[in-house]
Amino acid sequence: MEATVAQLGLNSGVPTPTMSVLMRFLILKYYSQYYSFCTVGNDFLQDVPLSRIVLSLYDQFNTSMLHAIDNGCQAFVVDEQGAERFLDLYMPVHDLARQRSLDKSLILLIAKRNQTHLFDRMRVHEAFRELANVLIVVYDEQEHPTDLYNTVVDMSDVLERSVNVTIELVAVKWTSWKNHTFFPDKARDLNGYVLRTSMCNYLPFTGYERLVEDEDEWGDVYPNGTGIGLMGSVAERRTDIAFGAFYLWFKPYNFSSYTATISRSGVTVLVPKPKLLPHWRTPFLSFSWPLWMAVMVTFLVGIIATWLAGTVRLRLLLLSAPTDQPWTGRSDLISEQLTLSDAVLMMVGFFVAQSSPIRTDLWSCVCLFASLLLAGFMVSNLYSGGLASVMTVPKYEKSIDTVVEFAATGMKWFGPTPYCLEEIWNASEQIQKTYIAAGPEEMNRYAHMGGSGFIVEQAQHGNFAPSNFLDRQVSTTLQPLKDYVYTQNCAALITNTNPLRSNLNEYILRVQQSGLLYHLGIRTAIRYLPTDVMRNIERSRMHQHDDGAVRLELGHFLGAFFILGYGLLCASLVFVGELWGTLMMRRWNDTFVSKVSVVTAY
């Protein structure tokens, strides 16, 4: 509803200062705190000992205004000729500027003959929502102030963004006008000022009246200043401030600003928990794969050495056998021959601590078999100790504990917004390619499928932020990394020219130093967080078998049965192969003999 201008007069009969005197006083008292101020048109100022930038309406005013703001212009004095154009450009130019000054002030100088026309235009101008410190000075033809006004902004419809500006007359006692407060502190009483707020759906941790539903959550900001979601709503000025897990990202900062840091946040990844290794792998878990390779190499080398030693020994026995004895022929020494299969079984016996036939008639064989016995003894005892440990203490898959290990897996990982990669933009290309921005429903679907990672946020007091994709079933299959992917500061996203930003920053800092956030964070976590889900995440690295050894079960012997079954299968296949080979050799021999011609001697 439009308000009318109060019809109140100034003190009659009291001399008023000239515009030059009044403006000099106002500038020195209220603008001296600023780095510099800008004037547009006739400002009634002469020899002011402050930094001043004079702008011309007729020489690329928008560009000049942008350069002035970037060079430190923090307050403005505008006459009636440039009032409308200045107000139209105030928000667009500040959105493009790099300087983000707080508590801007504006003094509008209007001739009394044009007061009615300009006031009608200003009552619905949206720029006054972003200007709290406004003083309108109306002067007469003798360049004396006649009326002074302040502005009060009201919004009848939040979604339509329409504003009603009430222009209130300031009652000044000109007998003591220098003691009057021309720019009152409007933060003490906002007079129903509407702060359009958007936030993530963190119910029940946030309470608000939902006016518009945005499915894009955090959203995005595009290079032309438009956007979607929470960030887009602030960039397009559909809302004044947005609360959420906003880190200090540069891209939305081009079209909006950040408040003071509300909290510190650490981002980590929920990865699949290591599963209990299947029991059939029990016999193979005593040694690591490099140790198994070393054992196999030792086993093969022992077989070759044993077979070579047996072959050389047989040759020496044949050479040293007496030739005058009829019972010492080659056929009598055939039992001393060591075949390859004998060497294999001998090495197996050494490695499983079983007895094997050992030749002791040569010192070289004694040294060889002694070393093989010691090696087999060590391998057998180490394997027995490792097997006892494996069968009593459960073994799990390799756990993903650090960010480096997670990156090495090449696993897909999901997050709510592409901006989650802003802090690690210079990370390896592999980890950036595997990241996928997804909504809660899609993340929940992939969480049930398994084999993926999910970004989760941990607040500065240790509590995990609520994640919509987590449910009771999924929380039992995931665990957080031991370190953070990165840490950041959380802030609210606010429009560049919001007049309440400095007051909000002061309030945030006071709350931070009071310790109130810690108290509220712990209290909220205890009262509202899903206890079972959060407890599963926090205790995910405590396995169910951490209390001690487990009792042996039938499943622990599946590995032995697996080896037995595999050995029987291999023996059967080899036996069938030998039978087939024998039959083929017999047929081949019969065919070859039948084709040989008989030669008769003459």
Q: Which of 70, 7, 1, 11 is nearest to 38 (CA)?
A: 70
CA distances 119 to 3, 89, 107, 167, 401, Å, are: 11, 18, 14, 8, 66
| pTM (whole model) above 0.85 | no
pLDDT at residue 36 in the model = 92
- What end-to-end distance do the CA atoms of the chain give, in Å? 142
Q: What sign has the CA pseudo-torsion 239, 245, 248, 249?
A: negative
Determine phi and psi for 586, rounding to 5 degrees: -65, -45
Low-confidence residues of the chain: pLDDT under 50: 1-12, 204-208, 327, 597-600, 602
The domains of the chain are located at: 19-179, 227-275+397-544, 279-392
CA distances 533 to 201, 334, 459, 470, 474, Å, are: 18, 74, 16, 7, 9
What DSSP designation does 301 have? Answer: H
Cβ atoms of 262 and 509 closer than 8 Å: no
CATH architecture assignment, domain 19-179: 3-Layer(aba) Sandwich (3.40)
Amino acid at 172: V
Cβ atoms of 552 and 391 closer than 8 Å: yes
Residue 582 corresponds to which tokens in the numbers above? 């024998």
Angle subtended at Cα 445 by Cα 441 and Cα 449, rounded to the nearest 5 degrees: 165
Determine phi and psi for 146, rounding to 5 degrees: -110, -40
Q: Which of 186, 134, 158, 155 is nearest to 503 (CA)?
A: 186
List, for residues 226-251, the tens digit of each pLDDT value. 888 888 888 888 888 888 778 888 88
Question: 227-275+397-544 has which CATH code?
Answer: 3.40.190
Rounded Cα–Cα distance for residues 252 and 258 (Å): 9
Residue 350 corresponds to which tokens in the numbers above? 């050494």
pLDDT at residue 31 in the model = 92
pLDDT at residue 68 in the model = 92
Rounded Cα–Cα distance for residues 69 and 98 (Å): 8
Q: What sign has the CA pseudo-torsion 184, 190, 194, 200?
A: positive
Domain 19-179 and domain 227-275+397-544, same fold? Reply is no
Interior/surface letters 12-38, b for 16+ CB within 10 angstroms, e for the rest: eeeebeebeebbbebbeebbeebeebb
Q: What 3-state DSSP class applies to 9?
A: coil
Radius of gyration of the chain (CA): 44
Cβ atoms of 200 and 492 closer than 8 Å: no
Cβ atoms of 127 and 528 closer than 8 Å: no
Residue 343 corresponds to which tokens in the numbers above? 């060497």
pLDDT at residue 1 in the model = 31
10 Å Cβ neighbour count for 267? 20
pLDDT at residue 602 in the model = 45
pLDDT at residue 388 in the model = 73
